[in-house]
Structure 1
Amino acid sequence: MMSEFAAPKIVFEAWYLKEFFEFKSHINKNIYVQCKLCLPTLKMLSTAMNSTSNLKKHLEKMHPSTLSKFQKDNELNPRKRKVDTSAEEVNRQTKKIHICKESASNSACIFGLTQGKVDALITDFIIEDMQSLNVVEQPAFVKLIQSLQPSKTVLSKKSLVSTIEKRYSAMCRNLAAHFTSVRYLCTTADIWSTHNLSFFGTTVHWIDEISLVRKSAALSCTRFKDQHTFDAVASVLEQIHANFGINDKVQMIITDNGSNFIKTFRLHGDPESSSVVNPDKTLNSDRSEENEEVEFTDMQSAMQLESRNADNFQYSLPAHKPCASHTLNLIVAQDASNAMTVPSYKKMYFSTMAKCSALWNKLNRSIHAAEVVWDELHTCLIVPNVTWWKSQYEAVDKVRLLSATCENGLRSVCEKFKLPVFPQTEINFLGEYCMVMKPVANALDILQGEKNCYIGFLLPTIVSLRYRLQSIRHDLKLANPLVDAVLKGIETRFASSFESEELILAAVSLPQFRLRWCMEEHIKQKARNLLKNHMIQLSATQDETEKTTESAVVLDDQEDFFSFGSSNSGNVDYVGSVLQQLELYLCSSDKSLDCLKTFPLVKEVFIKHNTAIPSSAPVERLFSVGGHILTPGRSHLDDEHFEMLLLLRANKTFVNY
C-alpha cells in the first residue's frame, strides 16, 4: 500500500494539486483524485503520474476565479509555497543535473564534427574570406580551432594546398561536365596587369533553358607572360575554350576596344560575323586607342609570324562584340571633347572643372583637408578615378549637390583652402552638365549588369539614351554643345549595331521590349520580319526532326498493317501556327521571361541570341576580387595557386564541393 502512495507524492508537488484535489486511488500509471471545489458534487478526475495538465485545465475551465485568486496570493506571499528541501530531494535534483551534463557531453562526442568536416570548413574559410595560406600555422588560429574542437587538429599548410588542388580539379571537371548539356555559351576576356605581372581572365555565361535564369562562371585567370600581341591573345583564348571543350558552343566573345583584341578577331574571328559585330572604324582610330597599350613588334616576332603563316597556322575564334559600356565610356570621355569647338562652352567647362580639380587635389594631398570638409559639410567628397569616366561624373555630381544644398558650407571650404569659390554661373553649369551625363551613367549601369542583363538590352538602351538626351536640349542654356557632341558620338559608334540582325533579334525576343524600342517604322518592320523568318526556320527544323524521329520508329507487323496511310505529319501548316504564335507574342503585355514558356519558338530565339551579354564587366569584377587575393604581402603565392584560389571563390555558388 505504501508503494501506491509513494509514487503519487512526486506528482502532488505541484502547488495547485494539494490545495484543490484529494488523492483517492492509484492504478498502474494513472491516479484518481476528487476535486474539493466541486463539493458537495462528487467530481472524480483521472490523470497520468507524469502529467497533470488535465487537472489544471479543469481548474481553468470550472473554477477560474478561485484559481486566479490563489495564483495572486501565491505570488505575493512566496513563503506560503512549500518547498521540499529534504536531503533526498536535493540528491535527486543533483543527480538529475549530473545526468543531463553527461548526456550533453556524450551527444557532443557522438554528433560532433569529424576531422574531415573541420578541414573542409577551414578550407572554405581560407578561400571565401581570401585569407593567406599561412593562417593555418598561426598560433591564434590553431588555438581557436582547438578550443572549439579539442579532439581535432588543424591541417597543415601542405595539406591545405593539397585540398585546394583537389577542389580545383573537381571544379574544372564539374564545369566541363555541365557544359556538355549547354548549347549556347558566351565568354568575356580581358588582360589585367598588377605588381608587374599580367593575367588573362575569362568568364563564361549561359542561360538555363528550363528556368531561363542567367548562369555565370569564371574559366581562367592565367598568367600571361607573352607580349600582348594579337596572335598571343588568339592562342590563349582558343586554349582556354579547348580546356573546357566549348570551342563549338561559344556564340560570341565580349572584350574591350583594345587594338590587340580588335586585330585578333579581325584576323582570326568568324568572317561571316565580322560585318555584324566589328565596331565602327572610328573605334580603331588612334584617338579611341589612346589609353590602350602600344603594340611593338620586333624583327624576331615578325619572322615567327611569317613562319606561322607559311605553315598555314590559323586560329579559329567565335564572333566578337566590343564591350558596349567601354564604347559608351569612350563617347563621354573622348567624343564629348568635340564640344570644345564652341568657345563659350570651352571657357565655362575649363573654368568650372579647374575649380573642381583644385578641390579634389587638395583632398588627395592632405588628411587635414578631408577633416575640414567633414566638419563643414558633414560628408565626404568623391575623388574621381582617371581610368573610368563614371567616377568623374559622380564626383562632379557630388559637388553640384553640395552647391545646391550647402552653398555656404562649400563656400566656407573653398575659403579655408584658399581656393576660388564657385560663382552662380558655374553652379548652373554643373547642374546642366550632370543633367546631360545622368542618362549616360544610367545606361552604363544597365549595360554592365550580369544576372538580369542580356545583349538584347543594347539597342533599347541606346534608343532610350538618345531620346532622353534629345528631350532635355530645350532646357539647357550652357551645355547644348555637350549634348550635340554626345549624340554625334552615339550615332557614329553605334550605327552598325542597328544594322546587326543578331542584336535586333536579341532585342525583339525579350518580352521586356518586343517592338516598343523601335521608334521608326522601317526598323519595326525589319525586326518583325526577322523574328518571323527565324521562327519559321525553327518550326521547319523541328518538324523535320520529328519526322526523322517518327521514321526511325520500328512498327510491328500488326501496327504497320493498320496504318492506312492516315498520317498527316507531312502536311502540317507550321507557317500558319508560327504567324499565330508571333501575333500572340507581340500583342502580349506580360514582360516576364516566364511568358516565353507559352511561346516555344520565341523562347528558342531568345536563348540563342540573348546568351551573350553586352559588357565585359564580369571579367573586370573577377580582376577586382583577384586584387584582394594577390596582395603585396603574399609575394610567395605562385601563379597557379593564385588562379585556383580566385576561381574557387568565383565559382563557389555554382560548384558543389
Structure 2
Amino acid sequence: MERSRLAFDHWMHKHYFTFRDTIGRNITVQCNLCLPKINILSTARDSTSNLKKHLERKHSVACRRRIRDAPNVEAPSSDGPSVLENQMAESSEAKEDMIDPTTIYHQTSQSRLNTLVFNFIVEDVQPISILEQPGFRKLIEALSRGNKVMCRNTFITRLEVASNKMKGELKAKLDKVQTLCTTADVWSVQDRSYFGMTCHWLEDNLERKSAALACTRIPISYTCETIIAKIQETHSSYNIESKVQATVTDNGNNFVKAFKEFSSEDDQEVEQSRFEDLGSILCDGEMGGDFFLSYFLPPHQRCASQTLNSIASKDLADAVSKGQAGKLHSSAVEKCAAIWHKTQSSTEAADAIESIAKMHFTVPCLNQWSSEYYAINKLMSLTDSQLNQLSEVLGVPHFTPDETAYLTEYTDVFKPVAFALELLHGEEKCFLGIVIPTLLTLKRKLEEKAANTRLFSKVIDSTVKAIDSRFKQVFESSDARLATATMPQFRLWWLPEDERESLRAQLITEVLQVDQGTEETETNGGPVHEDEFFSYGPGSSSNKGGKREVAEEVWLYLQGTNKDLKCLNEFPGVKKVFIKFNTTLPSSAPVQELFSNGSNIVTPKGHHLSDEHFERVLLLRYNSKITTALE
C-alpha cells in the first residue's frame, strides 16, 4: 500500500513522530517527545488511535506548550478541533501537575505560601493589616492558583512559634560565647517609649556577630531605675549576666545616672566597709531591689562617636561662634542653609542644583556635626562661578569672597574630626582598641593644623582640651589600653616609651589569666586524672602556659610588624585577650539601627500589634542572618 494512503500521513500531530516501517497492516513510528529514550510505537495503517493515547498519557502538557510556543506548527482544520485536541484539553488541566515535573515550581502549597507571606511581612517590615487588604489577597490567591492568604490569627501563631525558635537558637549560640558586650538605648515615638538592647561578640576567626535582645515597651516617663531593671532583666533572660564585658550607651542623663549609682565597676567610689546581717536586710527590705540589681549591672562604656560628636557640635561650635570669625561663620552657614532649604522644598531647585553642580545635595541631619560638615564641604568643592550661578538660580544671597575663604579653611582644618567620627561609628570592623589611637591621632593632626591656620588656632586649642576632658576616663581605662595593645595595628607604638613596660606587664598578666580561665572551663565537671592532679616534672600542667612561655609569646607579639588581625592566630594567648577586650564596641549605633527598623512598623495607620508582637517582629527581622527562624 502506498504511503500516501496512510492515515498517519494526513494526521495533524504526525510531527511528534518519525515514520520507521510498514509491517503488514500496521506501521511503526518513533516518538520524538520520548527522546533520548528510543520508543517505537505501532498503529494501524488506517488509524492513529494508539498514537493519540500515547500523547494523552505521556505528553499532554508538552504538546500544549509546543502548540503555544510554535505558531508555525501546522494548524488544525477549519472543521473544528479534533477529538485528540478536545481530550488533551480536558485531561491536561487535571493531570498537568502530576504529569510534568517542570511545572511544579509554578505551584505553591498552602504551607509554603504561608511561609513566604510570613517572611515577606517580617523581612520587609510590612503591617499585618496587609493580610486583610482585598487587592493583596487577590494577588496572592491568583499567583498561587487558589491557595488562601493566612488570616491575622494564623500569622500571630506563626510569629510566636518563630520567635520561640529564634530565642532558643540565640540562647544556644550565646551559651558558647565567653565574652560579649551589649548596647542599650531608649526610643520614644508617638507617645510611646521602648527600651532596646543588642549584643555583640567575636567568633574565633575574629568576625563580629550581632543580635537583638529586646525592644520592650516602657513607661513614657521612665526613670533610671526602670532602665536598670530592663538591663538586668534582658541579660538574665539570655543567661549572659556574667559574660557582659561592658554595656555601651549614649550620654543621656538617665543612663549616666543609672550606671553611676548602680554599676559594679572597679573605679566606682566604695564606702568604708561595714558588716551587716544579711537576714535582717532581706526581712526589713532596707536596701530594696536596687541591692540585687547592682550586683548584675556590668561596666559602663559611653558611646565614643556620640561623645566626639558632642565635642564637635558643642565645644567646637561654641569656640567658633565666640572667636574672631564668629559673625563670618554665622553669615556663611546661613547662606548654606538657604541652599539646603531650597533643595528640600522644591524639586525644581533640586534639579537646577544637580544640573549646575553635577551632584545631589542633602539637608544635614539635626545635631549631627559630620552631616553638616560634609554638606558644607560639597558646596565648597564648587567653583566660584558655579556658586554664583547657583545663588542666582535659587534666589539666595551670594557668598562673599571672605565667606568662601572662611568655609574652605573650615572644611580643611576640621577634616580629621569628620574622619574620626566615621571611624568610631562603625560596627563590624570597629573595636574598643581603636578609640585611643583615633583620639591621639586626631589631637596630633589638629595641633599640626593650628600652626598653619589663620582663623582657627584658638578653636583647635579648645577642641583638643575638650577631647582630653571628655575622654579622660577612656585614656585612663585599663580595658581600653589593653584593647589597643592587642591590636596588631597599634601594639605599644602609640604609648610613650616610659609607659610601655608597665602595659606589657599588664598584658602578660591578662594572658595568664585567660589561659587559666580556659583550662578551668575545660576541666570543670569532668573527671580529673591522677597525672593532671600532680604538677611535677616536665610536661606538667603547671609548666604549660607558665609565665615564662607567656612572657615570650607577648614579647614576640610586641616585636612583630604585621598589622593584619590574622597574625593573632600565631599568638593564641594574646588573641584571647584581644577577644576579651575588643568585643566591646565604641559606639551604640547598632541599637539605633534596631530602632530605625522599628520606625517602619510603628506608623500612624499602624497594624494594631500588641507590644509583645511588635517586639517579636522586630527581633526576628534583626536576627534573621544568625538564626533559621525565618527559613
1:626 aligns with 2:602: no
The answer as to whether partners of 1:168 and 1:648 remain within 8 angstroms in 2 is: yes
Quick one: distance in 1 between partners of 2:238 and 2:517? 29
2:62 equivalent in structure 1: 100
Task: Describe the SS at the equivalent of 2:266.
Answer: helix
Matching of residues 499-514 of structure 1 within 5 Å: 499-514=476-491
Q: 1:177 to 1:438 in 2, by over 3 A?
A: same
**Aligned equivalent of 1:115, options 110, 114, 138:** 110
C-alpha displacement at 1:354, in angstroms?
Answer: 2.4
TM-score (norm 2): 0.77
1:609 aligns with 2:603: no
Task: Describe the SS at the equivalent of 2:391.
Answer: helix
C-alpha displacement at 1:486, in angstroms?
Answer: 1.8
The answer as to whether partners of 2:343 and 2:362 remain within 8 angstroms in 1 is: no
Quick one: distance in 1 between partners of 2:526 and 2:438? 45
Q: 1:551 to 1:180 in 2, by over 3 A?
A: closer
C-alpha displacement at 1:227, in angstroms?
Answer: 2.3
C-alpha displacement at 1:261, in angstroms?
Answer: 0.7
Quick one: distance in 2 between partners of 1:418 and 1:328? 36
Code of the residue aligned with 2:481 in structure 1: it is I
The answer as to whether partners of 1:342 and 1:481 remain within 8 angstroms in 2 is: no
Matching of residues 632-651 of structure 1 within 5 Å: 632-634=604-606, 636-651=608-623
* Post-superposition CA distance 1:246-275 (Å, at most 9, x none): 222212111111111111011111141448
Quick one: distance in 1 between partners of 2:170 and 2:182? 14
Quick one: distance in 1 between partners of 2:180 and 2:488? 21
2:566 equivalent in structure 1: 594
2:215 equivalent in structure 1: 221
Q: 1:438 to 1:109 in 2, by over 3 A?
A: same
Q: 1:590 to 1:89 in 2, by over 3 A?
A: farther
Matching of residues 294-309 of structure 1 within 5 Å: none
Code of the residue aligned with 1:388 in structure 2: it is Q
Task: Describe the SS at the equivalent of 1:199.
Answer: strand
Matching of residues 206-217 of structure 1 within 5 Å: 206-208=201-203, 210-217=204-211
2:301 equivalent in structure 1: 321
Quick one: distance in 2 between partners of 1:141 and 1:630? 21
* Post-superposition CA distance 1:300-336 (Å, at most 9, x none): xxxxxxx976547422211001100110011001111
2:557 equivalent in structure 1: 585
Task: Describe the SS at the equivalent of 2:126.
Answer: coil
2:401 equivalent in structure 1: 424
Aligned length: 541
Matching of residues 66-215 of structure 1 within 5 Å: 97-98=59-60, 100=62, 105-106=97-98, 107=101, 112-208=107-203, 210-215=204-209
Code of the residue aligned with 2:150 in structure 1: it is L
C-alpha displacement at 1:545, in angstroms?
Answer: 7.9
Quick one: distance in 1 between partners of 2:238 and 2:567? 33
1:527 aligns with 2:498: no
The answer as to whether partners of 1:126 and 1:132 remain within 8 angstroms in 2 is: yes
Quick one: distance in 2 between partners of 1:224 and 1:564? 55
* Post-superposition CA distance 1:393-445 (Å, at most 9, x none): 1221122122x3xx323212323444321122221221221123322222122
Matching of residues 378-417 of structure 1 within 5 Å: 378-402=358-382, 404=383, 407-417=384-394
The answer as to whether partners of 2:488 and 2:563 remain within 8 angstroms in 1 is: yes
Task: Describe the SS at the equivalent of 1:187.
Answer: strand
* Post-superposition CA distance 1:29-66 (Å, at most 9, x none): xxxxxxxxxxxxxxxxxxxx9889xxxxxxxxxxxxxx
2:279 equivalent in structure 1: none
The answer as to whether partners of 1:339 and 1:484 remain within 8 angstroms in 2 is: no
Quick one: distance in 1 between partners of 2:535 and 2:512? 30
Quick one: distance in 1 between partners of 2:447 and 2:399? 28
Code of the residue aligned with 1:656 in structure 2: it is T
Quick one: distance in 1 between partners of 2:428 and 2:592? 15
Task: Describe the SS at the equivalent of 1:444.
Answer: helix
**Aligned equivalent of 2:449, options 469, 472, 478:** 472
Quick one: distance in 1 between partners of 2:522 and 2:198? 36
Moved more, 154-163 or 133-142: 133-142
* Post-superposition CA distance 1:496-545 (Å, at most 9, x none): 31211100111111223222333x22343333222122223445666788
- The alignment's C-alpha RMSD in Å is 3.6
Quick one: distance in 2 between partners of 1:525 and 1:469? 29
Moved more, 363-372 or 588-597: 363-372
**Aligned equivalent of 1:515, options 492, 502, 519:** 492
C-alpha displacement at 1:581, in angstroms?
Answer: 1.0
The answer as to whether partners of 1:539 and 1:578 remain within 8 angstroms in 2 is: no
Q: 1:478 to 1:87 in 2, by over 3 A?
A: farther
Q: 1:273 to 1:226 in 2, by over 3 A?
A: farther
1:263 aligns with 2:257: yes
Matching of residues 23-102 of structure 1 within 5 Å: 97-98=59-60, 100=62
Quick one: distance in 2 between partners of 1:51 and 1:113? 30
Moved more, 328-337 or 352-361: 352-361
Structure 1: 5+ residue stretches without partners: 1-48, 53-85, 277-306
Code of the residue aligned with 2:592 in structure 1: it is E
Code of the residue aligned with 1:324 in structure 2: it is A
C-alpha displacement at 1:381, in angstroms?
Answer: 2.6
Moved more, 361-370 or 263-272: 361-370
The answer as to whether partners of 2:321 and 2:330 remain within 8 angstroms in 1 is: no
1:355 aligns with 2:335: yes
Quick one: distance in 1 between partners of 2:344 and 2:524? 71
Task: Describe the SS at the equivalent of 1:344.
Answer: coil
The answer as to whether partners of 2:431 and 2:582 remain within 8 angstroms in 1 is: yes
Quick one: distance in 1 between partners of 2:523 and 2:50? 86
Code of the residue aligned with 2:453 in structure 1: it is L
2:85 equivalent in structure 1: none
C-alpha displacement at 1:613, in angstroms?
Answer: 0.4
Quick one: distance in 2 between partners of 1:270 and 1:656? 36
Quick one: distance in 1 between partners of 2:519 and 2:394? 76
Quick one: distance in 2 between partners of 1:356 and 1:465? 27
Code of the residue aligned with 2:117 in structure 1: it is I
Moved more, 89-98 or 195-204: 89-98
C-alpha displacement at 1:202, in angstroms?
Answer: 0.7
* Post-superposition CA distance 1:98-148 (Å, at most 9, x none): 263668632268775432221111100111111121222223322332233
1:488 equivalent in structure 2: 465
Quick one: distance in 2 between partners of 1:565 and 1:218? 48
Q: 1:631 to 1:570 in 2, by over 3 A?
A: closer
**Aligned equivalent of 1:454, options 410, 431, 434:** 431
2:16 equivalent in structure 1: none
Quick one: distance in 1 between partners of 2:624 and 2:414? 37
TM-score (norm 1): 0.74
